[in-house]
């Protein structure tokens, strides 16, 4: 569902393009809330206000359910509230006080989902990298997958992905790397030429946690797929990698909102500095070789990452262990095929990490 009203402002039209119904539900919003958010914003309610109001309603629902002893219902409502606040902060492209406040609320609500997930905090440079650890309910994890997003969707936005993986016996770390989430908004860590070092710290974390035995896979969603490919090429500890909707050669994007998001992740309004960092992050398949299995996902209707933009990742990998899956009608990062996408990647990681390795217990 998107706004077809010709009288909506250019800002609202851009918000509806960037956050369509399929993306809202893919990242965990209640479908009824997602429809209401699009309707309310099309008729004049500011995006942040509409999304935060929906979160407040879900929090009230969660409190009532918890007081009555209906803990499953309470957790569901907390998840819906967490997603609504994630999308509320997305309306702020720059790191304003409002954005920080909304993201802090999102993080606090997400923490209420414990013990289903645990907070992750990892020292890095002069700050702290943050994220969430989700463990399978059925015993020791068979392997671990680290998942991260790109310019605007971070951490707990991918709780539905984590649920697909933990259901298969895999641990999942939802990472907020440099330029993302609280790592950026609270701790001042941004994307630069050495951003791969920041994402590698989550591999360090997985190796150090005695509960997380077995191989480690990584998955980068949207622009984060570029960081995943770089890490897979640089770090032999990565046993499998999924790239979904990323450009191999990043450039200052056509869409204004994406340009502003890119400046925010680099931490500067200087377009020359942004271009310098993007140029340093170009993925060259002749220089950056990926030796572990690689799965590339592509949506034929993706306006942000064409197949030609992603194809270099395949050329960097071994053709005998790499794979490509294309949905001809797929939107960006395959919002509109979320359940099938997560089942596919969950099974792919299981086959390459859990079934082909001996995982010690205890």
Q: What is the pLDDT of residue 213?
A: 86
Give the CA dihedral 42, 47, 52, 53, nearest 10 degrees.
-30
Summarised one tens digit per residue, pLDDT across range 182-235 is: 999 999 999 999 999 999 999 999 999 999 989 999 999 999 999 999 999 999
Region 93-109: what's the mean pLDDT?
A: 97
| Half-sphere CA count of 357, side-chain side, radius 13 A | 20
What are the residue boundaries of the structural domains of the chain, listed by start? 1-113, 118-362
CATH architecture of 118-362: 3-Layer(aba) Sandwich (3.40)
Which of the 8 DSSP states describes residue 295?
Answer: E
Please answer whether residues 78 and 58 qualify as being in contact, where contact means their C-beta atoms are separated by less than 8 angstroms: yes
Using alpha carbons only, how large is the chain's radius of gyration in Å?
19
**What is the pTM assigned to this prediction?**
0.95
- Residue-wise pLDDT for 10-60, tens only, equals 999 999 999 999 999 999 999 999 999 999 999 999 999 999 999 999 999
For residue 103, give both structure tokens.
Answer: 């993201």
Q: How do strand 294-299 and strand 238-244 relate by DSSP bridges?
A: parallel
- Mean pLDDT along residues 247-273: 88
- pLDDT-derived band of residue 1, with 50, 70 and 90 as boundaries? very low
CATH number assigned to the domain covering 1-113: 1.20.1440
User: What residues does 130 pair with on adjacent strands?
Assistant: 121, 176
For β-strands 216-221 and 294-299, DSSP reports them as unpaired
Please report the pLDDT score of residue 62 as a whole number. 98
- pLDDT band (50, 70, 90) for residue 139: confident
pLDDT value for 5? 55
| Closest CA relative to residue 216, chosen from 157, 168, 173, 259 | 173
Using the predicted structure, report yes or no on whether residue 3 has a pLDDT greater than 50. no
């Amino acid at each position: 569902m998107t706004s077809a009203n010709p009288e909506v402002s250019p800002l609202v039209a851009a918000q509806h393009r960037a956050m369509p119904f399929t993306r809202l539900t893919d990242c965990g919003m209640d479908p009824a809330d997602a429809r209401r958010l699009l309707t309310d914003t099309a008729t004049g309610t500011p995006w942040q206000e509409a999304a935060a109001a929906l979160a407040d309603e879900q929090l009230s629902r969660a409190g009532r359910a918890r007081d009555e002893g209906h803990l499953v219902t309470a957790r569901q409502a907390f998840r819906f509230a967490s997603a609504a606040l994630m999308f509320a902060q997305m309306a702020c492209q720059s790191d304003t006080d409002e954005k920080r406040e909304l993201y802090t609320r999102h993080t606090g609500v997400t923490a209420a989902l414990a013990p289903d997930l645990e907070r992750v905090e990892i020292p890095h440079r002069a700050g702290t990298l943050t994220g969430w650890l989700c463990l399978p309910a059925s015993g020791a994890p068979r392997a671990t997958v680290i998942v991260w997003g790109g310019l605007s969707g971070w951490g707990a936005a991918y709780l539905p992905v984590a649920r697909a993986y933990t259901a298969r016996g895999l641990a999942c770390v939802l990472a907020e790397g440099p330029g993302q989430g609280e790592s950026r908004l609270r701790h001042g860590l941004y994307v630069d030429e050495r951003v791969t070092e920041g994402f590698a710290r989550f591999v360090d974390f997985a190796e150090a946690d005695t509960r997380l035995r077995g191989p480690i896979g990584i998955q980068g969603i949207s622009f984060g797929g570029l960081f995943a490919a770089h890490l897979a090429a640089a770090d032999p500890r990565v046993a499998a990698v999924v790239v979904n909707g990323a450009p191999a050669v990043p450039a200052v994007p056509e869409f204004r909102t994406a340009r502003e998001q890119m400046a925010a992740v680099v931490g500067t309004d200087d377009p020359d500095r942004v271009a310098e960092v993007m140029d340093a992050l170009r993925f060259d398949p002749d220089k950056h070789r990926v030796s572990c299995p690689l799965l590339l996902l592509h949506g034929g209707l993706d306006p942000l990452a064409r197949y030609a933009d992603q194809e270099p990742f395949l050329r960097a990998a071994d053709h005998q262990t790499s794979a490509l899956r294309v949905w001809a009608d797929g939107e960006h990062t395959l919002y509109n095929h979320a359940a099938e996408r997560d089942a596919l990647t969950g099974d792919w990681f299981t086959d390459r990490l859990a079934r082909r390795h001996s995982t010690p217990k205890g």
